[in-house]
């Protein structure tokens, strides 16, 4: 599968027409997998239809998300328009890197079509990407609405102002909370029930800064404005209240250093998260 995802990401100009059809390799794989799925399981045709009728990767993404997020008086078509009208090539590249991250890191993942159609951690992250773009464009109400629909639909609450890099996996998704001034750099993996929050004592810039390649285990709470260093691991169930050095595992409540890694490990990519 990795081989199928290799190649240059597409360049998609800012799309206000919904007609842009520049395709990266992943979207062609998704379309082929969706067509095969519709053949095998005709009952699931309504699920894959948004993929099959879409002219571009951006449309596929927006249609799949709109089907999940519509409600509160806002219909699918309006949501789709809201999302496609704000996307650009940077967003699509991040989405492609996120798909590749899940396919390569999740041993249970059969392929990119499954990621797009079924994985709510991925869907929540993509909704955030559109909400963040709206936020940057000064459209705070639209951004908040999308974030709120995502919290309802996926049980993932990401503030639209948070800054999240690409190649990020939100595994399982449920219960993840990422605060307004949090930063998550590229190639990070975050498992269910993780909070990147404030302590409740600070205002302004008050949330964690998670550097590249970090793996954050299920249920971990990282509270406060400090760095979680590159390629470090946060053990499941930890409460982290102090900075974490690069290439370090922390565990416990409150978390303390339990291991310093060799230079070769990239925990998020290896998803070396086993509990023996």
Ligand X SMILES: CC(C)(COP(=O)(O)OP(=O)(O)OC[C@H]1O[C@@H](n2cnc3c(N)ncnc32)[C@H](O)[C@@H]1OP(=O)(O)O)[C@@H](O)C(=O)NCCC(=O)NCCS
State the residues that interact with ligand X by CB under 6 A.
Answer: 191, 217-218, 233, 235-237, 249, 251-252, 258-259, 273, 275
* Tokens 């492609």, located at residue: 96
* Residue with Cβ nearer ligand X (48 or 235): 235
SS3 of 154, please?
helix
> Distance of alpha carbon 90 from its chain centroid, rounded?
14
Residues 102 and 186: beta-carbon distance below 8 Å: no
Residues 66 and 20: beta-carbon distance below 8 Å: no
Tokens, residue 6: 């290799």
Tell the smallest beta-carbon distance from residue 133 to ligand X (Å): 30
* Residue with Cβ nearer ligand X (177 or 236): 236
Tell the smallest beta-carbon distance from residue 191 to ligand X (Å): 4
SS3 of 224, please?
coil
Whole-angstrom distance, CA of residue 73 vs CA of residue 197: 31
* Residue with Cβ nearer ligand X (13 or 258): 258
Indicate the residue whose CB is closest to ligand X: 217
Tell the smallest beta-carbon distance from residue 118 to ligand X (Å): 16
Whole-angstrom distance, CA of residue 203 vs CA of residue 181: 10
* Residue with Cβ nearer ligand X (170 or 218): 218
* Residue with Cβ nearer ligand X (48 or 268): 268
Tell the smallest beta-carbon distance from residue 177 to ligand X (Å): 16
Tell the smallest beta-carbon distance from residue 173 to ligand X (Å): 11
Whole-angstrom distance, CA of residue 189 vs CA of residue 173: 11
């Amino acid at each position: 599968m990795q081989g199928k995802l290799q190649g240059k990401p597409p360049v998609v100009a800012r799309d206000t027409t919904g007609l842009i059809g520049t395709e990266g390799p992943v979207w062609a794989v998704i379309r082929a997998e969706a067509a095969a799925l519709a053949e095998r399981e005709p009952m699931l045709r309504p699920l894959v239809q948004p993929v099959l009728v879409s002219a571009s990767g951006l449309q596929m993404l927006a249609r799949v998300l709109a089907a999940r997020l519509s409600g509160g008086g806002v219909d699918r078509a309006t949501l789709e328009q809201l999302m496609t009208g704000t996307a650009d090539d940077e967003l699509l590249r991040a989405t492609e890197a996120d798909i590749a991250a899940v396919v390569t890191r999740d041993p249970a993942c059969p392929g990119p079509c499954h990621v797009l159609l079924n994985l709510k951690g991925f869907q929540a992250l993509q909704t955030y990407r559109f909400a963040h773009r709206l936020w940057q464009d000064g459209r705070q109400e639209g951004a908040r609405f999308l974030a709120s629909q995502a919290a309802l639909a996926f049980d993932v609450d990401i503030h639209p102002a948070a800054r999240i890099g690409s190649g990020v996996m939100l595994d399982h998704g449920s219960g993840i909370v990422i605060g307004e001034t949090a930063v998550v750099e590229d190639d990070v993996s975050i498992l269910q029930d993780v909070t990147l929050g404030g302590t409740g004592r600070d205002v302004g810039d008050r949330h964690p800064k998670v550097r590249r390649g970090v793996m954050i285990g299920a249920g971990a709470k990282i509270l406060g404005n400090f760095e979680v260093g590159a390629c470090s691991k946060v053990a499941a169930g930890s409460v982290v209240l102090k900075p974490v050095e690069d290439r370090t595992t922390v565990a416990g409540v409150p978390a303390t250093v339990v291991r310093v890694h060799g230079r070769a490990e990239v925990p998020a990519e290896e998803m070396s998260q086993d509990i023996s």
